[in-house]
Amino acid sequence: MPADLTGSSWRTEDFDIPAYLQRIGIEPGPASLELLEAVHQAHVRTLPFTNVDILLGTYPGAAPAAVQRQLIERRRGGYCFAHGQLMAAALEHLGFEVTRHLGRVGSPDRARTHTSLEVRLDDGAWFADPGFGFSIRGPMPLRDGAVRDEGGRLFELSLVGGGGGVHGLGAAPRRRVPARLRQTARAPGRHAHRGPDHLRRPRPWPVHRDADGQPLDG
């Protein structure tokens, strides 16, 4: 029986990383911020976020071998657990130090139904989130006040929790838009990231905000 997907056992050998890199059009190179940016951008632009198969009851699951077949061989899409696992394995193959973290969508009281990545470089930790759909397309420094401009949407990480190192990720359009159009100009709701207990590291808690800086309801 395969090992559980916990701790250091992620069955990354079930992924064909050269096929993944070829699929997204990335050449291997030394681990760097430039390569991390290129992989993250290429991943989200090539591999779609989809959950239709889940609603239809036909999704093959999030085990690495199933993710390999679904996203690489069948060229279909997946949701956060598929995307996060695949990109994490590829980044480790390329020489990056990666920590996988579970997260919450909405309030901190909800179940951990999301996953995101912490990637460590010489200049510190970077937040990567390839599997949330309408979210960041590249990494962000994992620190209070970090901002990323996504061509009309500004994402900002800010410390919102107490002693847990919890961060809020706010997304807002750069210019004011009519209320009836604001739904299409913002990220869909709020999602929270906090590391599972066995990882012993708290993770970001993104909270999406509107153009006026007010929290958006999920």
Residues acting as catalytic residues = 80, 114, 129
Structure token pair of residue 149: 């401009």
Structure token pair of residue 93: 């193959």
Q: With contact defined as beta carbons under 8 Å apart, do 184 and 197 qualify?
A: no
Helical H segments across 80-160, by residue range: 80-93
Helical H segments across the chain, by residue range: 17-24, 33-46, 52-56, 64-67, 80-93, 179-182
Those residues whose C-beta lies under 8 Å from the C-beta of residue 101, and which sit 6 or more positions away, are: 115, 116, 117, 118, 193, 194, 195, 196, 199, 201, 203
Q: How far apart are CA 193 and CA 171, in angstroms?
A: 15
